[in-house]
Amino acid sequence: MKLNIVPASTGALWVKQGARTFVRQPIALTGLFLMFMALMSLVSMIPLVGGIIGLILIPSASLGLMAGAQEALAGKFPRPLTLFCAFRISKDKTQQMLLLGGFYAVGFLILAALSALVDGGSFAKFYLVGSTLTKELILKSDFQQAMWLALLLYIPFSSLFWHAPALVFWHGVSVPKSLFFSGVACLSNWRAFVVYALTWMAIFASVALCLGVLSSWSDESQWVSELLLPLMLILASIFFTSSLFSFKDCFTSETILA
């Protein structure tokens, strides 16, 4: 396995490849994402430890979404159990993926704690335990500062975990090395990832703008607002599908474990 350096334009290609693959199995891939969201919601309901368990499961669940994209790319129908592939191969793989999830949970909680230094924990409570988000809270300057601080810190943090689940599960890389290689891959290909992020921002903004225009033109805007949720689900499903191609282009390997 070796690291590849790709042109900046490859970031837009990842989005295009994700969309093409999604079209092959739109129902299955959207269903996997809905299962992912439902799993996170159900786990978060567990008293006291639900939020922590949800964080631990995120790398494994994101791997399941990538595995679904891999199956769709191969012309197969992604089954619901694909989402749980991290726990179905071997005990060792399961332990490694849970260890990776533990690293993710600890790191995320550290980010939340740092943001709490700015606003006393309001933003962290909203994100971790789903506290009520009011207009007054959003307008508070310390809440906004905590939100931007968390976002800025999350960008380098997420780069460590962007490729790590695939490296651990498909290539047998140890958890510490997977975090290192993932971070190096994202840093080395930062131009492509910037284009990738900007492309997705443009897509989401364009969809929101189109819906806003349709709403202003229509006497009954209810149907327009009802389109928002399914469209966001589809776009989110395509986003996770496209992440597979960023991994495939950043690393070269002769074999990928099924």
pLDDT band at 94 (very low <50, low <70, confident <90, very high): very high
Which tokens in the block code for residue 118?
Answer: 């700015």
Enclosing H/E stretch for 237 = helix 222-250
pLDDT band at 144 (very low <50, low <70, confident <90, very high): confident
State the pLDDT at residue 255.
42
CA distances from 223 to 34, 93, 214, 218, 228 (A): 22, 46, 10, 9, 9
Contact indicator for 54, 44 with CB cutoff of 8 Å: yes
CA dihedral 33, 39, 41, 42 (to 10 degrees): 160
Average pLDDT over residues 182-198: 96
pLDDT band at 24 (very low <50, low <70, confident <90, very high): very high
CA distances from 109 to 42, 104, 157 (A): 20, 9, 12
On the 0-12 / 13-18 / 19+ scale of CB atoms within 10 A, 211 is: middle
Question: Could you state, in order of their start, the residue ranges of all structural domains in the chain?
Answer: 2-252
Contact indicator for 234, 26 with CB cutoff of 8 Å: yes
Average pLDDT over residues 237-241: 95
CA angle 109, 112, 115 (to 5 degrees): 155
Contact indicator for 180, 195 with CB cutoff of 8 Å: no
